[in-house]
Structure 1
Amino acid sequence: MTQTQLIQQTLHTIAYLGVREVCVAAGARNAPLVSALLACSGVKIWNFFEERSAAFFALGRIMADRQPVAVVTTSGTAAAELLPAVIEAHYQNLPLVLVTADRPKRYRGSGAPQAIEQAGLFGVYATIVGDWDATDESHEGHCSDGPMHLNVCLDEPLETNVAGVDFSAAPPLPASEEGPPGALQCDLVLAAGMHPREAADAAALLARIGAPIIAEATSNLHGFRELQPLLIPGGEQALQSARPAHVLRIGAVPSWRWWRDLEDLPKIKVTNITRTGFSGLARTENVETLAWENIRSTQFTRIDPPCGILRFEPDFEKFPESEPSWVSKIAKAIPAGSRVFLGNSLPIREFNLALQTPKPGIELFANRGANGIDGLVSTFLGTSAVHGGECWLILGDLSALYDLAAPWVIAQMEHPRLRIVVINNGGGKIFSRVASMRALPEAARNVIENRHSLGFEPWAQLWGMEYLQTDDANDLADLLPMPMVIEIRPDPMHTEAFWKDWQKPVIRPR
């Protein structure tokens, strides 16, 4: 097989995997693939100067549109830059397709330049769809759940005059089939991490069950009128008052500590309905996990009487300059029809407290596969790339510092109304809420929290974004119709006081 045939076979394979968008980080070894891709029809190309941002941007595109997206890299350590996004995609069961150019197989183990061991580089986190060079007879790819890896070995001289293919000619992927019918009971529902389309399916089921629901913002359930009587505010605090017998967890694994504590409560039965296939618990006793397709066919009924549960509502006005209060102000400023991406670790927890009934059409996303702070700006930009309304990212300062190269792609996006809100509290303050961390000496806490005095105006200037630092929530209204970095600096004393007060919130019985 010639190199030209190998490249075209690779393109046909990713087209048949359902790919219609490709993120390219070009180099010498993948130049034949890049050149051929640019000659293709029926596919959108995004270009990046580095691979890590490309992979997280692709992850965001998949999260938004629920279609496979490919990332094409050159050889060597360039391929290794994909690993963080691959791990995130694995635990969210998202079809991230990795196409890594490589040197021929005979170079493996030689230590020759740009000849790392790329085959199997991603271990358990990606299925190897192909490890090909021109000496192979067959190049048949196959579809799988989660990330897929095609390693394409190209020898010199590199062929850069390869005709493209028509991606739109590939047949559409088959639709998922409904699971077998079943009947289950539950007395408490936990919901998190669902695409808005998935939330619509879940809402229909949950309305029939009629059990109380504690839902994270990313569940996208708060806008359904029929669920309003069932939704319980208060998150972690409300859960502490619950005494369920059977929990239904729907969507992603929740961020609440109460969920982790279920590890040591084996008498509480847990049923998961999730796309990922992961139970989110290490224990197996009284735990079952159903495929997402069961959501339409399974009949749940509420256990009577329902579990005891109280409603906890925070008082944001009491400490107006605290970080949670600022997140509440931001939530109120986000207009209807916006797409919102929430960063780990504190922002997602604080937004869960702040959200009651969102404005119409707001969609919420977050990276809750591995729960890391890596690549959040890039993933946000991926979810926002073709959205017509405003797009808001709320993240911490360390998360922003992790992803300073992300705005490279903004110039290729279709609309400019991006709002990157950086909550700058001078380090990783999530650790100050962990009991074991609070007992450490001050010098150790300084290192663990990565305390700093950096500001984000130079970052905005670097990428040509507008910059706003404000201590007045009124400034969040009527923002300029262009990409903006908005820096918020909460009062640390107010924040500490808020969390202490939250331990004794106002209790309103149901």
Structure 2
Amino acid sequence: MTIPPAVTAARALVADLVSRGVEDIVLAPGSRSAPLAYAVAEAADAGRVTLHVRIDERSAGFVALGLSKASEGAPVAVVTTSGTAVANLHPAVLEASHTGLPLILLTADRPHELRGTGASQTTDQVGIFGSAVRFAVDVPAPSGSQGLTGEPDIEPGTASEQELRDLRSITGRAVSAALGFRSGHPGPVHLNLAFRDPLAPSAPLPGLPADTAQEGYPTPDPPLVVPAVLQHVASPALPGDPARTVVVAGDGAGTDARQLAEVQGWPLFAEPSSGAAGGPNAIAAYRVLLGSEELAAGIEQVVVLGRPTLSRPVQRLLARPDVTVSVVAPGAGPWPDAARNAAVVLPGVAPAWFETSTPPPSAFLERWRAAGAQAARVLDEVTCDDAVLGGPTALSVARAVAAVLGPDDLLVVGSSNPVRDLELVLGLDGPGPAVLANRGLAGIDGTVSTAVGVALAAARRGLRTRALLGDLTFLHDIGGLLRGPHEPSVDLEIVVVNDDGGSIFATLEHGALADSGSAASATFERVFGTPHGSNLAQLCAGYGVDHQLVKDVPTLRHALQAPSHGIKVIEVRVPRADRQAETRELARRLVAAVQP
């Protein structure tokens, strides 16, 4: 059997990706990408990789993002055909770039002689992702006549050995860049792969043995590993008064943030997806408590880990000219400093910072702890079962979800109000679950698909995945529910807080428009509130997904504790009209509770 150059090259590419740690490949169907489809299916049949097929490239990109996120930054490849298929990856690529997740984008393209000729499904794909990728190469179509470096072919009719060597060299560079081996700045990479007809083998591929390579599926080169050399600060000294320091843990900060706060005796302001929320120094409702002038005025220094994105009060704190801001930002990527006020940017946490014995609580820390305890009591009062007998609120739903889930759970939380509600109630009833979120660009795009990808990867670690989403976030990516009958099964419960629109805008400055008269209120409702009137049960039925409407918090808790298999949507309807007033009243009560 003669294997065309395109298929031979695709097999070599997939083999090399597997050798470099790629365990999952997400594929969207197409014709120009057929060589890759044959190669990935062959590798999946041999048990070398797990294949996930999605018909929507946008969803495929976010499934890959979720797989990588729940696999603690493992590289995941995405395969698409040419044309608009490539452009549909862009939202996931942007999120992966800002989050630092290693997606490997394998986009098929026409050979060079067909570009710019009006050939079907042909556009300029070279550089399409711009600065969002860490590495990008336009790979010429293998011809079997000469390698990429011009060496003569040794076996006409298939890809040359030199072409395969060149391809594996490119793959090694791409995976190294995706993982940030040299830069310490992982993220997506793009291989634009031109393929020339024929795109299919003349007969079914012979298949791969389970443990050895064979002719046509070359033995891959050893993985290219060039670790980045990151020098941490030798001295533990920081400017400012250590006794008046707080730690801000943004998205992806990791456990170092919590450990640092506890060892140094500093209050901890941790976002839900920081990986640092919890512990004796974590301050409940810190973003609201920053509205207390007396508490906030005592802060002289902030150490920032991760990327804080949730809170305007935190950004105002980081912008204060009387506060010294130190940012911990490993790698070669941009550091988070939206306020442009950082006094020092550190490549890592100095080991000496963890070597000191934990000091006795300072008066500064005790004041913040006491304020957090008072805030927790207020939050308990407004979210307990007795307080929501008339019907659940978005905040009480977030608390119920956090209370039911434990250390064997992962919670994917949507942007807008759900993540902010979760931030207020996380920890009221115990440590709660690990939380993941798409906070790179803090958008709602692709969140259902991300949760599906997280659930697929988390199941391998023995973890159960749930998601807490708003209704617009759910509807924006409802196509993520679509999964073919041949795809790996996934267990995922999605709690949808349905207030028939975008209540997040009512809590921003746009909410004032809603209160300024009937005409202005109508404008707000149409262009910000955006009611949709969708029947979620019917939509779920169309995708073959179970749906349950719950009307109170005890029923929600029972639904989350009951055994469940497959994808299930639990809908909780809450009012939207009072969101702005409720938010203001809660803030007033929280600040009043901590006043002397």
Please give the TM-score of this superposition, normalised by the length of structure 2: 0.77
Change (3 A) 1:444 1:184: farther
In the alignment, which residue of structure 1 is the partner of 2:180?
none
Does the 8 A contact of 2:318 with 2:341 survive in 1? no
Deviation at 1:219, TM superposition (A): 2.3
Correspondence 1:297 to 2:300: no
The structure 1 residue matched to 2:337, chosen from 281, 299, 310, is 281
Correspondence 1:421 to 2:484: no
Residue 326 of structure 2 aligns to a residue in which SS? strand
- The residue type paired with residue 308 of structure 2 is V
In the alignment, which residue of structure 1 is the partner of 2:49?
43
Residue 487 of structure 1 aligns to a residue in which SS? strand
The structure 1 residue matched to 2:575, chosen from 476, 488, 491, is 491
In the alignment, which residue of structure 1 is the partner of 2:196?
155
Change (3 A) 1:448 1:284: closer
Change (3 A) 1:250 1:167: farther
Correspondence 1:235 to 2:290: no
In the alignment, which residue of structure 1 is the partner of 2:393?
322
In the alignment, which residue of structure 2 is the partner of 1:188?
246
- The residue type paired with residue 27 of structure 2 is V
What CA distance in whole angstroms lies between the structure 2 residues aligned with 1:459 and 1:211?
Answer: 48
Change (3 A) 1:439 1:231: same
- The residue type paired with residue 407 of structure 1 is L
Q: Aligned Cα RMSD in Å?
A: 3.0
Residue 236 of structure 2 aligns to a residue in which SS? strand
In the alignment, which residue of structure 2 is the partner of 1:83?
90
In the alignment, which residue of structure 1 is the partner of 2:325?
270
What CA distance in whole angstroms lies between the structure 2 residues aligned with 1:172 and 1:128?
Answer: 15
Residue 196 of structure 2 aligns to a residue in which SS? coil
Deviation at 1:403, TM superposition (A): 0.8
In the alignment, which residue of structure 1 is the partner of 2:68?
62
Deviation at 1:416, TM superposition (A): 5.2
Q: Which runs of 5+ in 1 are unaligned?
A: none
Correspondence 1:253 to 2:311: no
Does the 8 A contact of 1:191 with 1:213 survive in 2? yes
Deviation at 1:202, TM superposition (A): 3.8
- The residue type paired with residue 297 of structure 1 is P
- The residue type paired with residue 479 of structure 1 is A
Which is further off, 17-26 or 70-79? 17-26
What CA distance in whole angstroms lies between the structure 2 residues aligned with 1:150 and 1:105?
Answer: 15
Change (3 A) 1:415 1:101: closer
Does the 8 A contact of 2:32 with 2:195 survive in 1? yes
What CA distance in whole angstroms lies between the structure 2 residues aligned with 1:112 and 1:437?
Answer: 50
Does the 8 A contact of 1:18 with 1:173 survive in 2? no
| Greater Cα radius of gyration, structure 1 or 2 | 2
Aligned residues: 501
The structure 2 residue matched to 1:127, chosen from 134, 139, 142, is 134
What CA distance in whole angstroms lies between the structure 1 residues aligned with 2:134 and 2:15?
Answer: 18
- The residue type paired with residue 490 of structure 1 is V
Does the 8 A contact of 1:235 with 1:256 survive in 2? no
What CA distance in whole angstroms lies between the structure 1 residues aligned with 2:394 and 2:90?
Answer: 32
Deviation at 1:167, TM superposition (A): 9.4
What CA distance in whole angstroms lies between the structure 2 residues aligned with 1:409 and 1:275?
Answer: 38
Would you tell me which structure has more helix in proportion to its own residues?
A: 2
Deviation at 1:114, TM superposition (A): 1.3
Render the CA deviation track for 1:382-438: whole Å, top value 9, x for unaligned. 111142343211111111111111122386676654211111111111011112442
Render the CA deviation track for 1:334-391: whole Å, top value 9, x for unaligned. 3552110110010000001111256567211000000000000000111111423432
Deviation at 1:9, TM superposition (A): 4.2
Change (3 A) 1:194 1:408: same
What CA distance in whole angstroms lies between the structure 1 residues aligned with 2:135 and 2:315?
Answer: 33
Change (3 A) 1:14 1:288: farther
What CA distance in whole angstroms lies between the structure 2 residues aligned with 1:423 and 1:167?
Answer: 51
Change (3 A) 1:122 1:13: farther
Residue 128 of structure 2 aligns to a residue in which SS? coil
Change (3 A) 1:194 1:283: closer
Deviation at 1:472, TM superposition (A): 1.8
Residue 391 of structure 1 aligns to a residue in which SS? strand
Residue 486 of structure 1 aligns to a residue in which SS? strand
Change (3 A) 1:170 1:117: same
What CA distance in whole angstroms lies between the structure 1 residues aligned with 2:131 and 2:550?
Answer: 45
The structure 2 residue matched to 1:171, chosen from 199, 206, 223, is 223
- The residue type paired with residue 26 of structure 2 is C
Change (3 A) 1:122 1:257: same
What CA distance in whole angstroms lies between the structure 2 residues aligned with 1:251 and 1:426?
Answer: 33
Correspondence 1:28 to 2:16: no
Change (3 A) 1:415 1:210: farther
Change (3 A) 1:500 1:239: closer
What CA distance in whole angstroms lies between the structure 1 residues aligned with 2:273 and 2:595?
Answer: 25
Correspondence 1:442 to 2:521: yes
Change (3 A) 1:204 1:262: closer
In the alignment, which residue of structure 2 is the partner of 1:11?
14
What CA distance in whole angstroms lies between the structure 1 residues aligned with 2:14 and 2:490?
Answer: 31
Would you tell me which structure has more strand in proportion to its own residues?
A: 1
What CA distance in whole angstroms lies between the structure 1 residues aligned with 2:530 and 2:588?
Answer: 30
Change (3 A) 1:509 1:262: closer
Does the 8 A contact of 1:218 with 1:364 survive in 2? yes
What CA distance in whole angstroms lies between the structure 2 residues aligned with 1:99 and 1:417?
Answer: 28
Does the 8 A contact of 2:136 with 2:189 survive in 1? yes
What CA distance in whole angstroms lies between the structure 1 residues aligned with 2:399 and 2:187?
Answer: 35
Does the 8 A contact of 1:249 with 1:271 survive in 2? yes
Which is further off, 451-460 or 88-97? 451-460
Deviation at 1:499, TM superposition (A): 1.2
- The residue type paired with residue 190 of structure 2 is H
Does the 8 A contact of 1:46 with 1:412 survive in 2? no
Does the 8 A contact of 1:43 with 1:167 survive in 2? no
Q: Which runs of 5+ in 2 are unaligned?
A: 150-165, 178-185, 209-216, 515-519
The structure 1 residue matched to 2:555, chosen from 472, 475, 498, is 475
Change (3 A) 1:494 1:427: closer
In the alignment, which residue of structure 1 is the partner of 2:589?
505
